[in-house]
Chains A and B, each alone.
Chain A
Amino acid sequence: MAEEATVAHGTLVLLIEPARLLEVVRTLKDTLGFDMFLDVTAVDWPERNPRFDVVWHFYSTRQHVRVRIKARVPERDPTVDSLIGLYGSARYMERECHDMYGIVFRGNDDLRPILLYEGFEGHPLRKDYPKQKEQPLVPYRASEARK
């Protein structure tokens, strides 16, 4: 199922096709006993095409082992399937990943900002987000008044 399997820091890492995500995760959950969804995040490789790695971690509470899944998605369509059908907690972690990296989770109907706020433009953990850029909710006082 995996394109590539490596071991990093004692954890099995599987690189998969985004289209096979649900199939792989279902096998991990039902057959291999990875019953706990730890997190989903992304890695931005600005120079690379496809630009993003989406990374999931799972844990088996019986075997006490973790596994990491990676899938590559392009910038123009950073979409992967949502895991909320398999793990309920995915609903919130996918919202955070959408906040920070703009990854779209097909099937998650609630991708409102969870850590950011309504009206925030852009995705702050992408490498091309200017690190000094501010989007204040309260207008700043005039600088003369601050003295």
Chain B
Amino acid sequence: MTAGSSERRPSAAFEYLTTRKDEFVGWARKFSLFPYPFVTACCAMEFMSVSSTLYDTDRFGAALPRFTPRQSDLLMVVGTVTHKQAPILLKVYEQMCEPKWVIAFGVCATSGGFYQNYAALPGIDKIIPVDLYIPGCPPRPEMVIDGIMKLQDRIAGDRHAIINEKF
């Protein structure tokens, strides 16, 4: 810092902007989705495809997987969930901080798919709330990207109650 620079001078055309709080927070949140991949089955291959170079979900701000649910806000359930595994999924979901969203990736996570038997959970929405369903066995990467964009549209349009009378 040089002497005489204590006076703060405008350096660009826009020093301030006005916006609605919900729009601003929604914009920030929709481009900083931190997915937690709860990957159990063959849809994992499609998840790798969509998250790596060719389709690259990083372009949508949803690329960096966090392998602890406490640091993530998007739970992607990729593949079949069995009854035996359901308590683990519930525990992961409950560890995530608000705000959080859930994507059911593929038909097994959506409804159990063709596993209608003693072992498979017929859709993860039986135990946790789901925001977005992506059908397909497995879904095309384009469908996943379309799903992520739809979720982003929803986040952008949501109310984000971060400020209330106490803060």
Chain A residues at the B interface, C-beta cutoff of 8 Å: 116-117, 124, 129, 131-141, 145-146
Chain B residues at the A interface, C-beta cutoff of 8 Å: 83-84, 86-87, 90, 116-119, 121-122, 125-129
Q: Given the known A-B contacts A146-B125, A146-B126, are A138 and B87 also in contact in the complex, defined by CB atoms under 8 Å?
A: yes
Candidate in A117, A137, A141, A146 with the most chain B CB atoms within 10 angstroms: A137
B116, A141: Cβ atoms under 8 Å? no
Give the distance in Å from the alpha carbon of A138 to the alpha carbon of B126 in the complex.
Answer: 9
A117, B84: Cβ atoms under 8 Å? yes
Give the distance in Å from the alpha carbon of A24 to the alpha carbon of B129 in the complex.
Answer: 56
Q: Given the known A-B contacts A141-B126, A146-B126, are A136 and B116 also in contact in the complex, defined by CB atoms under 8 Å?
A: no
Instruction: Kindly provide the distance from the CB of B127 to the nearest chain A CB, expressed in whole angstroms.
Output: 5
Instruction: Kindly provide the distance from the CB of B132 to the nearest chain A CB, expressed in whole angstroms.
Output: 14
Instruction: Kindly provide the distance from the CB of B104 to the nearest chain A CB, expressed in whole angstroms.
Output: 12
Give the distance in Å from the alpha carbon of A129 to the alpha carbon of B117 in the complex.
Answer: 10
Give the distance in Å from the alpha carbon of A146 to the alpha carbon of B125 in the complex.
Answer: 6
A136: which of B86, B117, B129 is its contact (CB, 8 Å)? Answer: B86
A124, B84: Cβ atoms under 8 Å? no
Chain B interface, >50% SS class = loop
| 22 intermolecular pairs with C-beta atoms under 8 Å apart | A117-B84, A124-B118, A129-B118, A131-B116, A132-B116, A133-B118, A134-B118, A134-B122, A135-B83, A136-B121, A136-B127, A137-B83, A137-B87, A138-B83, A138-B87, A139-B127, A141-B125, A141-B126, A141-B129, A145-B129, A146-B126, A146-B129
Give the distance in Å from the alpha carbon of A131 to the alpha carbon of B119 in the complex.
Answer: 10
Chain A positions within 8 Å of B83 at CB level: 117, 134-138
A138: which of B118, B127, B129 is its contact (CB, 8 Å)? Answer: B127
Instruction: Kindly provide the distance from the CB of B116 to the nearest chain A CB, expressed in whole angstroms.
Output: 6
Give the distance in Å from the alpha carbon of A124 to the alpha carbon of B82 in the complex.
Answer: 14
B122, A138: Cβ atoms under 8 Å? no
Give the distance in Å from the alpha carbon of A134 to the alpha carbon of B127 in the complex.
Answer: 14
Chain B positions within 8 Å of A116 at CB level: 84
Give the distance in Å from the alpha carbon of A49 to the alpha carbon of B128 in the complex.
Answer: 46
Chain A positions within 8 Å of B90 at CB level: 138
Chain B positions within 8 Å of A134 at CB level: 83, 118, 122
Give the distance in Å from the alpha carbon of A137 to the alpha carbon of B90 in the complex.
Answer: 11
- Nearest B residue (CB) for A133: B118
Give the distance in Å from the alpha carbon of A132 to the alpha carbon of B122 in the complex.
Answer: 10
Instruction: Kindly provide the distance from the CB of B96 to the nearest chain A CB, expressed in whole angstroms.
Output: 16
Chain A positions within 8 Å of B118 at CB level: 124, 129, 131, 133-135
Give the distance in Å from the alpha carbon of A129 to the alpha carbon of B118 in the complex.
Answer: 9
